[in-house]
Amino acid sequence: MSGTTGAGGAGKSVRVLLAEDQGMMRGALALLLGMEPDLEVVAQVGSGDEVLSAALEQRPDVALLDIEMPGLSGLEAAALLRDQLPGCRVVMVTTFGRPGYLRRAMDAGAAGFVVKDGPVEELAEAVRRVLRGETVIDPALAAAALSAGPNPLTGRERDALNASADGATVADIAVRLRLSESTVRNYLSAAIGKTSTRNRVEAVREARRQGWL
């Protein structure tokens, strides 16, 4: 594990796991959250792949997850925590306030979604609120998500776009997804139409901008 386990914390009641790939940001958040009288950061990790093992070891009450991390994304890590450690509440903490991310975070079982540019006191209060059973969502992001509507892409269309993002050919994507080439072309064509773009490169870019991928 790249992070560290918290020590001390006498009298503190809320155990927090912090997943953030930028070391300086992670350290600053851990320090500031640790200054709250009731919060203890018991684990810090720098990639999505480390989240589940650290959580199973430390049994945090709340996991604060960045979305875009090396390895698994925060959204994928949230889904693992939902399935394997359901007692741990998840709050997504991200720079990218994209409407599609909010919907995917809720689908993955997250109880909160906040952006990083807010004061740490608000983040600490979000931790307390989700422990009380509340759902905490950044108001501006909630409004944007409502106006944007649902993700128009199906799961297979997202898979095809993701598989094409590195410049893979249709044949490569077909092998990777275990589909026929004609089926892959159909999925990509549908995704291009739904994103109102001209080709799959633009479709990937637009889907990411919207938080659909």
Q: How does DSSP assign 53-105, residue by residue?
A: HHHHHH--SEEEE-SS-SSS-HHHHHHHHHHH-TTSEEEEEES---HHHHHHH
Measure the CA–CA gap between 66 and 96, rounded to whole angstroms.
10
| Confidence grade of residue 7 (pLDDT, cut at 50, 70, 90) | very low
From residue 64, give the alpha-carbon distance in Å to each of 67, 81, 112, 172.
10, 12, 9, 36
Spatial separation of the C-alpha atoms in residues 172 and 8, rounded to whole Å: 52
Q: What percent of the chain has pLDDT over 70?
A: 90
Per-residue model confidence as pLDDT tens digits over 68-78: 899 999 999 99
CA distances from 109 to 84, 85, 90, 141, 176 (A): 12, 11, 7, 17, 28
- Residue 96: pLDDT band by 50, 70, 90 thresholds? low
pTM over 0.75: no
Residue-wise pLDDT tens digits, 146-172 = 656 678 889 899 999 989 988 899 999
* pLDDT (tens digit per residue) in 180-205: 999 999 999 999 998 889 999 999 98
Give residue 6's pLDDT: 42
